Amino acid sequence: MRPKFQKYNQQQNWLFPPSIEELIPKDHPVRIVNGVIEQLDLKLLTEVYAREGRPSFHPKMMLKVMVYAYMDNIYSSRKIEKAMRENINFMWLSGNQVADHNTVSRFRSNKLKDVFKDIFKQVVLLLAEEGLVSLKEVYTDGTKIESVAGRYTFVWGNAIKTRKNKMVEQLEQLWNYAQAIADGEGDLEPDPTPPSFKELSPEKVEKTVRQIEKKIRSNPKASAKAKAKLRYIQKNFSSNLKKYEKQEELLGDRNSCSKTDPDATFMRMKDDHMNNGQLKPGYNVQISTENQIILHYTIHQKANDIHTLKPHMDSFEHLYELTPEVLTADAGYGSEENNDYLEEKGIETYVKYNTFDKAQGLSKKGKDKRKGFHRDDLYYNEDQDFYICPMGQSMDKITEFTSRTKSGYKQRNSVYQAKHCQGCPLRSLCFKGIGNRQVQRNHNLELHKKKVCQKLLSDIGEKYRKKRAVDVEPVFGHIKYNRNFTRFTHRGLGKVEMEFGLHALANNLKKMSA
């Protein structure tokens, strides 16, 4: 018997051609995108458009197409244009309109850049109305994502300081040489007040070089080497200083940036296993989630998470006009400054400090050879304010001092000193310094550690700690690996924030349609 096949005829005519609406299943994610964006107030987006000239594609249609493209892992403007021509879901969203790739790119880069945060906020509030999030309990974490900038187009702040110091040294040497050969040459008297080279500027360099040239050019004692050095300084120093000033302006308070994306900072990418954490230009992305839905996101130029929590939560409060009731984060955010800030805001804090796991015996690192002799192992008498050393002698407070962190936060420290360490049989195990042993204590930080430890070890604290690992961390894993977003495609802090915002909104709508 012959195999049976269904009838196949490409020239078959339709009596009633089907509409695109009929071809899309009722539970398809594209309908979620359409329904959510139809509920948004896009007044801020429409105001971005010019009132003169040729009519533009409707911003609502463009937004639907853009968001659904990111949900479908399509990020290229050319591929989005292709999908609008060929993909039935895009054709339904756009009403069979096709925007070319330049229009798609301009809409994403220019139109959305300044208003997307408001669109994202409206979607989160819709999710809150549906009961999917409460905005009360948030889990915060960060990751570093590489910039589109060239990996070897770096500018280092320390290298600029080193080069400027060398310039100062060469100028001083040439100045001293010019004064030495001018001494005793009649009208070529050495200058009584040499210029200060502590703060170099192109104008100061040019003025100093003119003074040096006056003495070297007209003095037969001047060596050919000194004249060659002078020519080199005249040719390079002033232009180099102008270049360094522009680079320092781009750096701000950072130590590095990229020439092709000045907003990007060189960070060690931990996910780059092949290169053992190579330094690459990138951004530190911070998110706060609830039930794996991104409530808020911010982009930072500092690699250390400890400096990002305060601006991240300030931005959260500014966006939603409220602060969460509970915040849970890992040890990368544990600091005295952050704990003071969260306490001031009235946020219940479940943030580890950096030695929490070690103190609870949860760390996988090797045994501490100084167990029993470390400062944290010494007995502290809180009522009378003194330590007890391993030999049992009192360590009294001898002084207090104030220090500042990189962010400018003031810390108050107390110093305690033992009295008779000379000849102590435990000295080699206790410490290896000269004189009597000293320990420092930050009382405010220790108080925060005590409070946090009690919270984290409670039943509710253990619940938050466990949930953090399955709430915020999988979101980054999904975006970076399942959605293949490991590198930004735009340059500049504003455009980078908008680009990640599209991924965040796509993540939320994916969760909504799951």
pLDDT score, position 194: 57
Alpha-carbon span 11 to 30, nearest angstrom: 30
272-305 pLDDT tens trace: 555 567 889 999 999 999 999 999 999 999 999 9
pLDDT score, position 368: 58
Alpha-carbon span 43 to 48, nearest angstrom: 9
Residue 277 DSSP label: S
Q: How far is CA 462 from CA 165, 287, 352, 452, 457, in A?
A: 53, 22, 12, 12, 6
Which of 44, 42, 141 is CA-nearest to residue 468?
Answer: 141
How many CB atoms within 10 Å of residue 361?
A: 6
The domains found in the chain, sorted by start residue, are 20-112 (no CATH), 155-257 (no CATH), 265-359+457-513 (3.30.420), 375-443 (no CATH)
Segments of the chain with pLDDT less than 70: 182-198, 271-276, 361-370
pLDDT score, position 410: 92
3-state secondary structure of 355: coil
Alpha-carbon span 418 to 437, nearest angstrom: 6
Which residues sit opposite 401 in a β-bridge? 413
Q: What is the 3 state secondary structure string of 236-254?
A: HHHHHHHHHHHHHHHHCCC
pLDDT score, position 367: 54
Alpha-carbon span 481 to 514, nearest angstrom: 19
Alpha-carbon span 505 to 514, nearest angstrom: 14
Alpha-carbon span 349 to 330, nearest angstrom: 11
pLDDT score, position 187: 44
Q: Take residue 329 and report the two structure tokens written for it.
A: 């984060």
pLDDT score, position 361: 66
Q: Are 482 and 70 in contact (CB under 8 A)?
A: no
3-state secondary structure of 259: coil
